Amino acid sequence: MKLKTLMAAAGIAALGSMSVADGHASNVKVGMITTLSGGGAGLGIDVRDGFLLAVKMSGNDHIEVVVEDDQRKPDIAVQLADKMIQSEKVDVLTGIIWSNLAMAVVPAATAQGKFYLSPNAGPSALAGKGCHPLYFNVAWQNDNLHEAAGGYANSAGFKNSFILAPNYPAGQDALTGYKRIYEGGLAGEIFTQLGQKDYAAELAQIRASDADSVFFFLPGGMGISFLKQYADSGIDLPVVGPAFSFDQGILQAVGDAAMGVKNTSQWSKDIDNAANAAFVAAFQEEYGRLPSLYASQGYDTANLLLSAMAQADVSDADAFRAALAAAEFDSVRGDFEFASNQHPVQDIYVREVIKEGDVFTNRILGVALEDHGNVYAADCSM
């Protein structure tokens, strides 16, 4: 399926020429490659909707966004990137959800002199030795939320965690990230198959172990399956995990099985600042659903880009890069700045799953890690 959206805020241009005419009038063309069909489409749709909402709210008519669907396939993402760079002549690329797709697209795009702003994927390879002046990650480095889960485990007094994640690079990073901060012992460590839906065998091992807590990283449908089966297994240990299994898109499918589970996220809809309140209200009004953390990342990515456009011309790469690195925008996360490898330094929160009326959502319990950067910055020579 081919989906192409051309977004030009033409209506606002008629009355907005005074408000935007502050010098930098050159247009920026953005190529968004994201996942809009297939099993992982919910994430890409949220990133796209968040991004387009920010563009629409800014009323800036010097930005044009071309959206294409990568179908979660690296080869298609590479083709789309080539097309966007060569025939669409975009200035900035963004949108990729999955780390394996990012690894296929980002190094080639930055080598061709295009800016890449990542609204989600943050593989360690692009944060350390593979960092690049034109690559910015607006979401997190992959390890961050898992490190925060480890931090929460320490403060909750867990001494013997059972940890599991799928056997692929992001899954291995997840367990590494958790163990980097977590100080207790391990009751067990399991790598599951990527895409696995039945966790009976793992649950039996958790039951047979003497664990006092469970940490898991199972994004998307894997997490739904795990949580439902965990709730039905009669195991009564506290569970902690990154927000990927508890985002707004999938909580309704998990239902009561997720109630009260602690999860770590850099964003939550109840972070108390004006930018976030405006974002949550506008997103609900525009799309009729609550935003997820992916939507917040898309929204922040667009606002970062808009803030740089206000200060510099995209054709002047050095000035534009400096304007991006300054990150002078009102993030929905509150304080936000870039580390030396252009990945966020931000607070990561512990949230709890609650029910508001009929809707399952999250509430902040506290800060797990304050002003948290990433360990790979030391390997990045830029």
Partner 1 sequence: MTLVLFVEQVLNGLQFGIMLFLMAAGLTLVFGVMGLINLAHGSLYMIGAFAAAAAAGWTGSFLLALIAALGAAAAAGAIVELVVIRRLYDRDHLDQVLATFALILIFSEGTRWAFGSFPLFLDIPDYLSGTITLPGGIEYPLYRLTITLAGLAIAAGLFWLISRTRLGIRIRAGESDREMIAALGVNISRLYTIVFALGAALAGLAGAMVGAIQSVQVGMGEPVLILAFVVIVIGGIGSIKGALIGALMVGLTDTMGKLFLPQLFRLFMDNASATATGSALASMLIYILMAFVLIWRPQGLFGARA
Yes or no: say if 55 and 302 are a contact pair by the CB < 8 Å rule. yes
Yes or no: say if 191 and 166 are a contact pair by the CB < 8 Å rule. yes
Member of 113, 207, 278, 335 binding partner 1 (CB under 8 A): 207
Site membership for partner 1, residue 112 (CB under 8 A):
no
| 11, 12, 19, 21 from 16: Cα distances, Å | 9, 6, 5, 8
73-81, 125-133, 220-228, 297-305 -> range binding partner 1 (CB under 8 A): 220-228
Q: What is the C-alpha R_g of the chain? A: 20
Q: How many CB atoms lie within 10 A of CB 155?
A: 10
Q: Amino acid identity, residue 195?
A: G
Site membership for partner 1, residue 11 (CB under 8 A):
no
Member of 252, 273, 311, 340 binding partner 1 (CB under 8 A): 252
Member of 14, 15, 200, 274 binding partner 1 (CB under 8 A): 200
- Measured from the CB atom, the residue of 22 and 288 that comes closer to partner 1 is 288
Helix (H) or strand (E) holding 275: helix 274-287
Q: How far is the CB of 315 from partner 1 (least distance, A)?
A: 37
Q: How far is the CB of 103 from partner 1 (least distance, A)?
A: 20
Please tell me the distance from the alpha carbon of residue 304 to that of residue 50, in angstroms, as a whole number: 13
Phi, psi (deg, nearest 5) at residue 29: -105, 125
Site membership for partner 1, residue 160 (CB under 8 A):
no
Secondary structure letter of residue 193 according to DSSP: P
- Measured from the CB atom, the residue of 14 and 200 that comes closer to partner 1 is 200
- Measured from the CB atom, the residue of 222 and 240 that comes closer to partner 1 is 222
Residues making contact with partner 1 (CB under 8 A): 1, 37-39, 41-42, 45, 167, 172, 189-193, 195, 197-198, 200-202, 204-205, 207-208, 220-222, 224-225, 228-229, 232-234, 249-250, 252-257
